[in-house]
Amino acid sequence: MESNRLHFLITAGGTREYIDPVRFITNASSGKMGFALAASAVKTGHKATLITTIKNPQFKIKNSKLKIVEVESAEQMFKAVKEHFRKCNCLIMAAAVSDYTPAEKYKIKIKKSNKNLVIKLKPTADILKWAGKNKKKNQIVVGFALEDKNLRKNADRKLKDKNLDMIIANTPAAIGSEKSTVYIKKRDKNWLILKDLDKAVIAESIIKSSILNLQF
């Protein structure tokens, strides 16, 4: 079994983009899907490294095959992914990475005034796109797509543009919920729809499907 053990690199949670030492921009991602994926990977005997912004004990997974790396910002997540990517067979980017971060971070807490406050944002690096570009033959890269309209068309474009092996598309209703409906697509394959299922069940299906891609 040891030699068949795969290494999954999984990201979870919404990133925190600090404006000043106490305030940040984030999103409603709970990290549930990322944790469910890591739990499923180790439960099936594989190794997982989970890069997460969520430190909530309700998600704690006790398994010696799981390594947890805690990060906060998109920049820290990118650094951690770069550090671990080479050693993994499969990267699954389940994290809700912020597309923007403050162009400048205030070193001290911003004081209130009566004037409007304008915060300039700059784009972050697309971690998934970097991985799609830098993957080796024995590696696969799986992404998520959060879409409120034209779900399949937009997700299919992300699958190709980011050079992914598989994409899992969902709608904003999935954020923070226990159950979810996902649309899964591999390169040159048809859409698979998993309707209103527990995130643990969806995670199992994604892990199984990724393993199949790694075994031919």
**Residue 143 makes contact with ligand CTP by CB under 6 A:** yes
Cα angle 77, 62, 175; round to 5:
50
Residue 55 or 133: the one with the smaller Cβ distance to ligand CTP is 133
Site string for ligand CTP, 9-48 (x = CB under 6 A): ----------------------------------------
Q: Give me the sign of the Cα torsion angle 74, 80, 86, 90.
A: negative
Between 149 and 168, how does the x/- string for binding to ligand CTP read (CB under 6 A)? ---------x----------
If the CB atoms of residues 97 and 206 are measured against ligand CTP, the closer one turns out to be 97
CB of 23 to ligand CTP, least distance (A): 20
Of 154, 163, 166, 170, the closest CA to residue 126 belongs to 163
Phi, psi of 39 (to 5 degrees): -65, -40
Q: 77 is written with which tokens?
A: 């997540």
Instruction: Among 30, 49, 73, 126, indicate the residue that binds ligand CTP (CB under 6 A).
Output: 126
Q: How far is the CB of 161 from ligand CTP (least distance, A)?
A: 8
Contacts (CB under 6 A) with ligand CTP, residues 43-102: 74, 93, 95, 97, 99
For the chain, give percent helix, strand, coil, nearest 5: 30, 30, 40
Catalytic residues: 27
Cβ(207)–Cβ(40) under 8 Å?
A: yes
Size of the site for ligand CTP (CB under 6 A): 14
Asked if 144 is part of the footprint of ligand CTP (rule: CB under 6 A), the reply reads: yes
For residues 49 and 8, the answer to whether their CB atoms sit within 8 Å is yes
DSSP state of 111: P
Q: Which residues contact 3 (CB under 8 A, 6 or more apart)?
A: none
Residue numbers at the binding site for ligand CTP (CB under 6 A):
74, 93, 95, 97, 99, 124, 126-128, 143-146, 158
